[in-house]
Amino acid sequence: MISLPAQHALQQMVHRAIQASPLVLEGFMANITDLPDLSRLGTQQVVLLTVSCYEFRLILLIHFSPDAQTYAHFATVNKLAPAEMEEQSFIDAIRECANRCCGNLNRDLARVFTHVGMSTPNIIDRRCVDYLHKLGEGYLQHFALQHPGGPAFGVSICVNAFTPLDFACEVTAAQETGALELF
């Protein structure tokens, strides 16, 4: 069982993780909307990552299509000309993007739960997502991500709770990460 406050907190965490990731070009804000299902999305592939602890397993899925608009988006993120974005560079970029998005989510979850761990990104066919219900999810939510002039992305979370989850967590603006502190 995953309480409504916990579902709301997870939604906030996902929104913050998306906004702070390379899914959104620097200086832009993305419009994130809830989707009842994935039929309108029309993407072809998914990057899959998991965040797990003793209390739950969360599967984060980032839906994309390897088309010219998506290649151009990641070329911009990596400060390349679109013609320079080769297939392997694109795969590396989309995986790193998903890794950073999931890392942001992992950091927020670690403020509430101890011993939270994260997997490495894997790319799978979009049709695999149709079988998430086989996991007996406690909470499944899909999001559409639109920003001006950019490709459409989707994000899904599927949470399996091993114990009742009831928590509230106000997510604040993204904190700067990656800096080393020396004492």
How do residues 66-110 score in pLDDT, each as one tens digit?
999 999 999 999 999 988 999 999 999 999 999 999 999 999 999
The encoded tokens of residue 173 equal 């603006």
In this prediction, residue 132 carries a pLDDT of 87
- Burial of 164: CB neighbours in 10 Å, binned 0-12, 13-18, 19+: exposed
In this prediction, residue 27 carries a pLDDT of 78
pLDDT at position 112 over 50: yes
* Mean pLDDT value of segment 115-126: 95
Cα separation, 50 vs 12, in Å, equals 18
- For 159-182, the pLDDT digits (tens) are 999 999 999 887 665 444 444 444
Which domains are seen in the chain, by residue range? 4-161 (3.40.1550.10)
Closest CA to 105 of 174, 162, 180: 174
Cα separation, 92 vs 80, in Å, equals 14
pLDDT at position 10 over 50: yes
- Coil, strand or helix at 15: helix
In this prediction, residue 133 carries a pLDDT of 85
